[in-house]
């Protein structure tokens, strides 16, 4: 330990040498001592042996600044600047902030935070113990995108297979849903009992199962099932709306749209008409030769609706859309087998159908057709088309990043649900009314007279309501008649006593004995 005033007095040579040696020792030992040197200079170091602290004199030479405290037992630096770090900042060579530690300990980095070392661990300590994460052996980078909002009690994080995480039932694999089955039937557009429907110019025409076209004005369309779908999502089919008759100047009441209708009793869990009415999210894939916006609506059985504009950004390219709608607290839904609400795709319309704004809250349509506010203006050319697949609806509010994945069903499950609304004796893949002997029903009689031939048929699925029955014959023409097996002629066949689960057919006119009638039928109970 040595301290010196660093003033060499005019003295004898031995004393001068001793004074110089003392000054050098003071410099070498950082002016160490039990207290500060009696004489100090600006920017002078001083090591205090009493508390093992290194100080530096300030430039005003009127105070000491603590530099660090040394642990003399373990030969380490104990801490800097007394017991705190104030506004610590590390900068890049260009002066930009690289790492900053703020008051309270908040750590801010200019870019990604990487933690490596031999264990590749990130540790969080609580006392002497910690929880940690360790990176596995990787051949490439891996990023997981977290959901934007918390889940509900009991849920767990699941992945969509592409790194996007969402909350799901703790059983895993299936996104958390109130409903066990997809809310929208045939959203994959796999079931197509009716085949391609051409020359659609009016309302209420179904094509691909559950998809209904509503046309008014000068438009003419064809709706068909197409083997065209976005790759990588388990979807192979889509429904296509193809303009066959253009209308460049729609009449005031012109309308071009298609719908999906829900039974009211299938929507009871939404609690519409109550303060607890639930938000729903509709998602789908679409593409068109036209870019621009179209209006997506929910419309209930009492003509109240809510809407949102959807943008097609790139022509002839599959794009996924996700749209949320708040629940309707003011109007309840039908709680029986009649319509609850419908999902509407408005693609064009005349002036009577434009109200100047998109209904962001549930409100009366007044009149019921005022719903078109898009810019896509589909239908002005016979080159126009519109495709949709992967149509789904989920309870809750979701974005594109956390929307639950499409809920696939087996083909048989999907078909059985569709048959609640339409079923026939024709083979799957064969359009209703086609000229085919496959699936024909046969009646034989040994007596003559009206009603002498009768047959009961149990429907494969209990239908929504008593169905509309249409009789078809093998020729593919003369709907309403059966084919006589003996002559190849036609014979009227009446239906009666239909229920939601069975049909009783009988002969509608006299006939000869010992003949055979061959026929098929379709039963529809759409909303």
* pLDDT for res 394: 95
Residue 325 has pLDDT above 60, yes or no: yes
* pLDDT for res 213: 97
Share of the chain above pLDDT 70, in %: 88
Which has more confidence, 117 or 500?
A: 500
Q: Which range among 124-128, 243-247, 474-478, 495-499 has the greatest average pLDDT?
A: 243-247
* pLDDT for res 20: 85
Residue 19 has pLDDT above 50, yes or no: yes
Strand order in the sheet with 238-245: 197-200, 220-226, 238-245, 385-395, 280-288, 319-325
In order of their start, the domains of the chain are 13-80 (no CATH), 88-134 (no CATH), 197-414 (2.60.120.260), 422-524 (no CATH)
Dist CA 318 CA 404 (whole Å): 19
Residue 155 has pLDDT above 90, yes or no: no
Dist CA 30 CA 129 (whole Å): 40
DSSP letter assigned to residue 379 = T
Contacts of 167 (CB under 8 A, 6+ apart): 147, 150, 151, 152, 155, 156, 157, 158, 176, 402
- Span of 59-63, 249-253, 390-394 with lowest mean pLDDT: 249-253
Assign 3-class secondary structure to 396-421.
CCCCCCCCCCCCCCCHHHHHHHHCCC
Give residue for tokens 């979701």. Answer: 398
* pLDDT for res 475: 82
Residue 191 has pLDDT above 50, yes or no: yes
Nearest to 381 by CA among 354, 352, 348: 348
Assign 3-class secondary structure to 460-525.
CCCCCCCCEEEEECCCCCCCCEEEECCCCCEEEEEEECCCCCEEEEEECCCCCCCEEEEEEEEEEC
Residue 142 has pLDDT above 90, yes or no: no
Nearest to 462 by CA among 373, 393, 523: 523
CB 96, CB 89: distance < 8 Å: no
Please, how many CA atoms are within 13 Å of residue 164, restricted to the half-sphere of its CB?
A: 11
Joined tokens for residue 389: 């697949």
Query: pLDDT tens, 57-96?
Result: 999 999 998 888 888 888 887 766 545 555 566 666 666 7
Contacts of 15 (CB under 8 A, 6+ apart): 9
Please give the helix or strand (H or E) that residue 319 lies within, else none: strand 319-325
Average pLDDT, the chain: 86
Residue 525's alpha-carbon distances to 93, 129, 270, in angstroms, are 75, 66, 24
DSSP letter assigned to residue 103 = T
Share of the chain above pLDDT 90, in %: 45
**447 falls in which pLDDT band (50, 70, 90)?**
low
Centroid of chain to Cα 456 = 46
Query: pLDDT tens, 112-131?
Result: 666 665 667 788 888 888 88
* pLDDT for res 143: 87
Residue 334 has pLDDT above 80, yes or no: yes
């Amino acid at each position: 330990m040595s301290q010196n005033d660093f003033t060499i007095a005019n003295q004898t040579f031995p004393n001068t040498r001793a004074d110089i040696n003392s000054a050098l020792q003071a410099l070498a030992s950082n002016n160490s001592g039990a207290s500060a040197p009696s004489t100090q200079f600006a920017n002078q170091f001083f090591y205090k042996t009493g508390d093992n602290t290194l100080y530096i004199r300030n430039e005003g030479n009127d105070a000491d600044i603590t530099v660090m405290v040394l642990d003399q037992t373990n030969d380490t630096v104990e801490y800097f600047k007394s017991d705190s770090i104030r506004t610590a900042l590390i900068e890049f060579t260009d002066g930009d902030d690289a790492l900053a530690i703020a008051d309270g300990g908040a750590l801010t980095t200019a870019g990604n935070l990487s933690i490596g070392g031999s264990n590749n661990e990130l540790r969080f300590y609580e006392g002497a113990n910690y929880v940690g994460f360790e990176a596995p052996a990787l051949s490439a980078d891996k990023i997981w995108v977290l959901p934007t909002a918390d889940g509900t009690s009991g849920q767990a994080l699941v992945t969509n297979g592409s790194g996007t995480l969402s909350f799901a039932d703790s059983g895993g694999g299936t996104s958390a849903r109130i409903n066990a089955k997809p809310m929208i039937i045939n959203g994959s557009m796999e079931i197509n009992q009716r085949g391609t429907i051409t020359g659609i110019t009016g309302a209420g025409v179904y094509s691909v199962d559950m998809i209904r076209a509503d046309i008014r004005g000068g438009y003419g369309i064809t709706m068909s099932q197409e083997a065209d779908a976005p790759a990588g999502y388990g979807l192979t089919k889509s429904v296509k709306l193809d303009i066959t008759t253009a209308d460049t100047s729609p009449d005031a009441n012109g309308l071009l749209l298609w719908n999906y209708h829900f039974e009211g009793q299938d929507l009871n869990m939404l609690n519409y008409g109550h303060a607890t009415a639930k938000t729903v999210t509709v998602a789908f894939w679409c593409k068109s030769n036209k870019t621009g916006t179209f209006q997506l609506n929910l419309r209930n059985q009492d003509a109240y609706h809510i809407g949102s504009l959807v943008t097609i950004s790139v022509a002839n390219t599959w794009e996924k859309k996700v749209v949320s709608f708040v629940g309707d607290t003011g109007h309840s839904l039908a709680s029986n087998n009649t319509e609850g609400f419908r999902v509407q795709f408005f693609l064009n319309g005349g002036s009577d159908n434009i109200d100047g704004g998109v209904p962001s809250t549930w409100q009366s349509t007044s009149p019921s057709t005022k719903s078109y506010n898009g810019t896509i203006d589909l239908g002005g050319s016979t080159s126009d088309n519109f495709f949709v697949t992967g149509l789904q609806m989920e309870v809750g509010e979701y974005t594109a990043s956390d929307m639950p994945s499409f809920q696939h069903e087996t083909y048989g499950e999907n078909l059985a649900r569709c048959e609640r609304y339409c079923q026939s004796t024709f083979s799957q893949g064969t359009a209703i009314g086609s000229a085919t002997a496959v699936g024909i029903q046969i009646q034989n009689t040994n007596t003559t007279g009206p009603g002498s031939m009768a047959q009961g048929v149990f429907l494969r699925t209990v239908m929504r309501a008593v169905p509309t029955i249409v009789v078809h014959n093998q020729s593919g023409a003369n709907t309403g008649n059966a084919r006589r097996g003996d002559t190849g002629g036609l014979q009227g066949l009446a239906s009666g006593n239909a229920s939601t689960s069975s049909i009783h057919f009988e002969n509608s006119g006299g006939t000869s004995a010992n003949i055979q009638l061959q026929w098929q039928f379709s039963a529809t109970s759409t909303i």
